[in-house]
Structures are given as structure tokens and as C-alpha cells.
Amino acid sequence: MIGGGAVAALAVGAIVATAIVSTNKNNEQAKNGGPTPTGSVAPTDTASPAPTFSSVAPLPPPNPMDFISDAKKDKAPLSPEGLYPGKKLTMNKRPYQKGATSSTNNCAAVTQGGLGAVLKNNGCTRVIRATYVRDGVAVTVGVAVFPTDDQALKAKKQASGGIAPLAGAGVKDFCRATVCLRRTNSIGRYVYLTQAGFLNGKKVTTSDQAVFQASDDVGTFTFNQIYARGRAQASAAAGAPGE
């Protein structure tokens, strides 16, 4: 049931572990052999030195989640175009045209219902929004940024209301005075929220699979983009001098 237009969903994040296998080979001792020529001095029987290996295990590669879970480590530039590049996104061969984007430090100003107070009370510092459309369905996604993952998780659990739909760039107003699909989830210090509905104002029901699919696709894309942000910073840290 879409109660008051709100539906919650879980997103499952996958953690990829990398195994490092080390192989040590001991060199066989090389000995001098054969008869000693007459009148010469026999060489001393010696062995070639065996290689030495450090007893200190290499450090594990940085975890991408460490970088997107704390503002003190998450230093990469953040912008609407960085999260949502280009003019469209495609998920499983389903293309979505991008509409307007926005960014604000006034988190409560781009919300509906009780969401603004929840974001403010948990320390939200910024909200980035983008809208996508496909086959008469529009989705606005909002990414709320917090100092830490603990604050983001609290905001996710307390969330009510939703992100305000973003019109413009060829997309007319939607999800006004009607029923739309709202979802909230988080990864690291980011809470991402979607609001999806019909451009013609039709109420969304549980049988409207196109709306649910659009919400899934845009939400999954957002999750992937945020995780990729952490992975890029972890990769850069692993290759930095002294790491």
C-alpha cells in the first residue's frame, strides 16, 4: 500500500573483498663441484645467499566505505554534474532523459512534510537534486549530505515526508496534489531519496510497475555513483606515496 504516497525500500550494498596471495620460493644452494685441477687451490665450498623477505604483512587496500562515511576523509569535489553527468542515464537498456538539477545548503527548503526538520536536526549540510523522465514517468532524486554515516543513518530511520519534485529543463510540475512513490535509503554519509510519479498527475498505485521501475533504476544509479566516489578516493589513496 502507498500510504500517503510513501513507500520504503531497502537497498542492499555489496562489499567486494580482494584476496592477496603471496608465494615464497627458496633458492637451492649452488655448490661448486668437479675435480680440482693439479696445482691449483680448491675453492671454498660456499652457498649462494637465500633471499630475505619482510616479516611485516602488507597493509590491506583502503575500503571505499571509509571515504564516503566521514567528511574528514571524503574530500573529492561534489556537484550535481559529478553525481549525474551527461544528458541521460541508462539502466538495463532503459534510457532516462535528465531534466533539471540543483544544489542547496538549505536542506529543509527542498523537502515536503516532516523531512526538512529531520534533515536539519541530524546535521544535513547540503542537498543535491536531479530529475529524470521516461515514458510519462518522472523521478526526482535528492542526495542529502551529512558529516558522518551515523547522522545519515539516523536521518534515514527518522525520515518522513519526502524530497520536493524538481521541475524545469523541459519537465513540467509533477507529484503535486496527487499520490506519488517516495523512497528513502542511505550509503555512508549520504541519504538518497526519490519521489516518482506520472507527469499527467495520475495517482500512483501498487500496480503501476513503470513508476516502481523508474524509482528503482534512479535509486540504484545513485547508489552506484556514491560508491564509485568512495572507490575512486580509495584507489587514489592506495597509490599515493607513503601509503
How many helices (H) and strands (E) the chain has is answered by 5, 8
Tell me: the pLDDT tens digits for 205-218?
999 999 999 999 99
CB 167 within 8 A of CB 174: yes
- Find residue 102's DSSP bridge partners: 129
Write down the CATH number for the domain with range 82-235.
3.40.1000
Q: pLDDT value at position 25?
A: 37
pLDDT above 80 (res 109): yes
Amino acid residing at 62: P
Q: Which residue has the higher pLDDT, 240 or 176?
A: 176
CB 216 within 8 A of CB 183: no
Over its C-alpha atoms, the chain yields an Rg (Å, rounded) of 28
Q: pLDDT value at position 42?
A: 47
Q: pLDDT value at position 21?
A: 32
Q: How many Å apart are CA 91 and CA 218, to the nearest integer?
A: 8
Domain positions in the chain: 82-235
- Find residue 171's DSSP bridge partners: 168
pLDDT above 90 (res 6): no
Q: 126: part of which helix (H) or strand (E)?
A: strand 126-134
- Find residue 168's DSSP bridge partners: 171
* Least-confidence region, from 26-30, 43-47, 131-135: 26-30
pTM of the model: 0.75
Q: pLDDT value at position 46?
A: 52
User: Any alpha helices (H) in the chain, and if so which ranges?
Assistant: 64-67, 80-83, 115-121, 149-158, 209-238
